[in-house]
Structures are given as C-alpha cells and as structure tokens.
Amino acid sequence: MNHSCDPNVLIKYETIARSKFYAIKDIKKGEQLTYDYGVNALDQIDVELWTVDCKCGAENCRGKLSTCFLKQPIAIQKKYYPYLPPSIKKKYRSKFTKLQGQK
Ligand SMILES: [Zn+2]
C-alpha cells in the first residue's frame, strides 16, 4: 500500500505484532488502498529518521511526510492515537500528554 495524507485504510494495532486493517471510507473497485505512513512506524514514534516531500495529491496533504508519530500535527496524532498498540501507549505515555483523554 502507498501513503496518503487522506487514506482509505486505517491500521488498528491489537498488540505491537498483531494489527488489523479497516476501510475508513468507501473504496471503489480498482481504487488504490492507502494508509498514513506518518502514524504507523512504531519504531519511530519519537524519532524522525527521515522526511520526504509528499505528493499524495490529497486536498489535506501535509506537504512533508515524516514517519515520526510525534512530528505529526496534533489533530492527526489525536485521530490515530486510539489505534496504537497498548505497549506503545504505555512506553511513550509521558510524550502523549497532549493526547490525554484519548483511549
Ligand atoms: Zn500528502
């Protein structure tokens, strides 16, 4: 799957090793499946290893793609935080203070 800033697939982690993929909008036959690379690199939650200009074409394209979860806009972090694995939420608990009140 490729990246999109407006993806049609969401990855929900039950554990760090087990995840499920969900369609989050209607997907037309033949349409490319996409997810947000910025919120699924579990080894880069607080580390920015690379960035790249994003040209995904979405209306809400962020322009720069980083795989560091904590470098994403706060609205994006809040959207995806509930789907992170429990172990990651626990490990980085102090860095998720802006997301308190989330599941
Ligand atoms: Zn984009």
How far is residue 62's CA from residue 66's CA, in Å, rounded to a whole number?
A: 10
Distance (angstroms) between ligand 1 centre and the Cα of 103 equals 26
103 has pLDDT over 60: no
Distance (angstroms) between ligand 1 centre and the Cα of 96 equals 24
- What type of residue sits at position 29? K
pLDDT tens digits for 23-55?
A: 999 999 999 999 999 999 999 999 999 999 999
pTM of the model as a whole? 0.87
Q: Which residues surround ligand 1, an ion (CB under 5 A)?
A: 5, 54, 56, 61
* 26 Cβ contact partners less than 8 Å away, ≥ 6 residues apart: none
pLDDT, average across residues 80-100? 90
Domain positions in the chain: 2-99
pLDDT tens digits for 72-86?
A: 999 999 999 999 999
99 has pLDDT over 60: yes
Distance (angstroms) between ligand 1 centre and the Cα of 92 equals 26
As a whole number, the mean pLDDT across the chain is 93
